Structure 1
Amino acid sequence: MRRSSALQACIAHQQSALTILHQCLQDQPHSGPDQPASGEGQAAPGPVGIGPNVSLTEPRSQPGSSTQQRARSSAPSSERRTILQVARESRLTRLIGLTSELLNLEQNSLYQLQETHFHLESKLSVELRNICSRMATREDCLRLDGDLKEIEQCLRDIVNQLLLSLSSNNSRSHLQAIDVLKGLFQKFLNI
């Protein structure tokens, strides 16, 4: 049936996009502000009997003292995640969640409605996959935020397309799917 193949194509493209988004999230640096950056917290080579990260010129300090706090805060900032990186990762995580919810809805509720006519184009799902692929290969971090906005807009467009397609039928199953889609659309406001 043509309608089920269109839905299957959309699902396949969105699953591919979701896989890429998961990979992008795994590739994010995960050294948080409270976690030691690479190399920090390791024993520095020094004379026997002197503890790690203790200088010969400074008095030995107690744990939690200002000397140790200064040593931690002087770690190179490039090894720690910035606020922008944390925000970007948070946004990516939310987009992954929304994509997963959309796929779940399509695979379960909408797939059962395939016998009734609803218009579905795979163009938006292909575009979603392409944006995710481009983002995964991008080295310019400044452009990643633009990619995340495009992914969000593409997901909104897919949800809108589904809402418009389902709104022509007032059956109970269509109305339930519409309610779920409206709830999903509301979540975009929190991104």
Structure 2
Amino acid sequence: MVRKSRIWATLLVGVTALGVTTLPAEAAPVTAMQSTACPTGWGSLAKTRTAGTATPVTNVRTGRHACYDRMVIDIPGASRSHLGYSVRYVNHLYQDGSGRLIPVGGGAVLEVRVTAPSYDPDTGAPTYPAKAGRSLPGVNLTGYRTFRDARFAGSFEGDTQLGLGVRARLPFRVLLVDGHVVVDVAHTWTGAR
């Protein structure tokens, strides 16, 4: 009888531990997340990848995370191997082709280019409803710790150009996932929340 009690107790502890470890990250208690350090070491130097696709940009969206703010450029159907980009800090954002100054708010400006048009290459019809010099449609940066402004500069010769205003020159990274170029900008240099 004692042996059966030990077995049941062991199983109960195992199932309880399994249930805790299989919780999705967003269900983790806040106290556990507060003790986690944010990633560091991304740096603020230009990041580029040479590749290109005729698959057009259809959307740009943003999100807030515990350690960084995120911008996602959606290019549905484009494989990761065909996605190219150039992301770098600039003093001012100038529109490709015309050289027109696009004002971008914030303490620093990231120029984000993806090597994908924001129009249908066969028809020239826009695939992303943004207007040059204006805020990105559907993007509301209220409450973000790092992002301050997001502007569409244009799409020229198969590249789409965006301006991302941030609080200050902060570390950033660029990630590629099939159909998406992701830009994360850290909240701090130190990895502290």
TM-score by length of 1: 0.24
The structure carrying a bigger helix percent of its residues is 1
Structure number with bigger Rg: 1
